[in-house]
Structure 1
C-alpha cells in the first residue's frame, strides 16, 4: 500500500478512536458535573464516529482506484450523521432553555477546560497532517475532511471559552451559552452532512 495511504488510514483510525474516547469521558463528566456544554460536546464526538466510519470506507474505495464519488454506504452514513447532529442540536437548545429558566449551575467545568485544551491540540495536528496527505494524494475528499476538522477545532474553542468563563465568573448562564453555540455548529454540521450525501465528498471530524 502507498505510504501516503497508510498515513491517511492511520489518521482516520486516530480520529475515530479519539472521538470514542473523548465522547466517553466528556459524557461521563458532563453528567457528573452537570455541565451541558461538556455533555453536548461528548455526544457530538459520538456522532462524529459514524462520519469517520464513512470516511474510512471511502478511503478503501480510493485505494482500490474506484474514484471519490460517494457510494450508498457513505451516503447512508452521512444521513445518519446529519440526523444525529439535528437531534443533538435540538436537545442542547431545549436543555439550555431549561437550565437558564431554573438558574442551574454546573458543579465545576475544570474537566471541560482540560478536555478542550487537549482537543484543540489534537485537532490542530490532525488538520495539518490531513491537509498534507490530501495534497500529496491529490484527494479533494481528504482535503475536504481536513477543512471540516476545523469546525471541530472551533467547537473545542467554544467549550474552552464556556468552561473557563464559568470557572472565572461562576455565572451559570455561560455554560448554557456554550451549549447553544455547540448546538449551532451541530446544526450546521448536520445540514452539511445531508448536503454532502447528495454530492461527491464526505466530511468527518474529530474533536
Structure 2
C-alpha cells in the first residue's frame, strides 16, 4: 500500500470542481443509505437477524459520516473543518461497533434465533454492486483534493461493500444449511472491522490535509517528510 502524496498548489478552479463532486457523491451516498437502513432494519427485526440489523445500523452510520463531510464542504473553507469531520466519522464507527456487538451477543446467547430473509439477501447483493463504485469515486476525488475526511468517508463506503459480502454469506448460510450461528458471527465481524476503521479515522486526520494544514508543512515545527510514520499516516486514511 502507498501513502497519498500531498497536492500542493491545486488551481482554484479545479478545487471548486472537486469540492462539487464531493458534495454530489455525498448526497448520493446519503440517499442510498437512508433507503438501505430502512429496508435492512425492518427486514432484520422481522427475521431476528443480528447481521442484518447491524448492516442497517452501518447504513445509519454511513449517513452520519457522509453528513459530516457534507457539513465540512458546506463551509467557505472546508479545510478548517477537516479535523472535526474526521472525529465525527471515527465516533460513528465506534458507535456502530457497540450496537452491533450487543445485538450479536444477545443472539448467540439465545435471546433470538435468526430466520431466513430473502429481502436481506437481495439488499446485500444490491449493495455489493453499488457501494464499491461510490467509494471509488469519492476516494479518487478526495485524494486529488487532499481531503482526509472525503477519503475516510470513502473507506467507510468501501467497508459497507465488504460488510455486504459478509452479510450475504451469513444470510445464505442461515437460509441454506440452517446455520443460525453464522448470522451473529457475521455481525461480530462487522463490529470488529468498524472498531479498526474508527481507530484509523481518529489517527488519520492529518494524513490527507492540504499542505497549509499539515504538521509536515514547510516551516512547521518538527515537520517530517510527507507520508512518513512520524506524521501519523502509517495506517491512516491516505492508504489505499
Query: Which bracket does the TM-score occupy, shorter chain normalised?
Result: 0.7 to 0.9
Larger radius of gyration: 2
Tell whether the 8 Å contact from 2:62 to 2:157 is kept in structure 1 after alignment.
no
Q: Is the partner of 2:81 in helix, strand or coil?
A: coil
In the alignment, the residues of structure 1 paired with residue 70 and residue 32 of structure 2 have an alpha-carbon distance, to the nearest angstrom, of 14
Task: Determine whether 1:86 maps to 2:100.
Answer: no
Find the counterpart in structure 2 of residue 18 from structure 1: 32
Correspondent of 2:122 among 114, 119, 140: 114
Correspondent of 1:30 among 24, 44, 48: 44
**Structure 1 residue 201: deviation in Å?**
5.5
TM-score by length of 2: 0.69
Correspondent of 1:191 among 174, 194, 199: 199
Find the counterpart in structure 2 of residue 95 from structure 1: 103
Which structure's relative contact order is higher, taking Cα pairs within 8 Å and 6+ residues apart?
A: 1
Find the counterpart in structure 1 of residue 88 from structure 2: 77
TM-score by length of 1: 0.79
In the alignment, the residues of structure 2 paired with residue 151 and residue 143 of structure 1 have an alpha-carbon distance, to the nearest angstrom, of 12
Worse overlay, 34-43 or 137-146: 137-146
Correspondent of 1:151 among 159, 181, 187: 159
Correspondent of 1:68 among 48, 61, 79: 79
Structure having the higher helix fraction is 1
In the alignment, the residues of structure 1 paired with residue 151 and residue 99 of structure 2 have an alpha-carbon distance, to the nearest angstrom, of 31
Task: Determine whether 1:163 maps to 2:180.
Answer: no
Q: Which runs of 5+ in 2 are unaligned?
A: 1-12, 210-235
Tell whether the 8 Å contact from 1:40 to 1:179 is kept in structure 2 after alignment.
yes
In the alignment, the residues of structure 2 paired with residue 138 and residue 162 of structure 1 have an alpha-carbon distance, to the nearest angstrom, of 37
**Aligned CA-pair RMSD:** 2.9
How many residue pairs get aligned? The number is 196
In the alignment, the residues of structure 1 paired with residue 19 and residue 165 of structure 2 have an alpha-carbon distance, to the nearest angstrom, of 30
**Deviations 1:133-163 (CA, angstroms, capped at 9, x unpaired):** 335x433433444344322221111111111
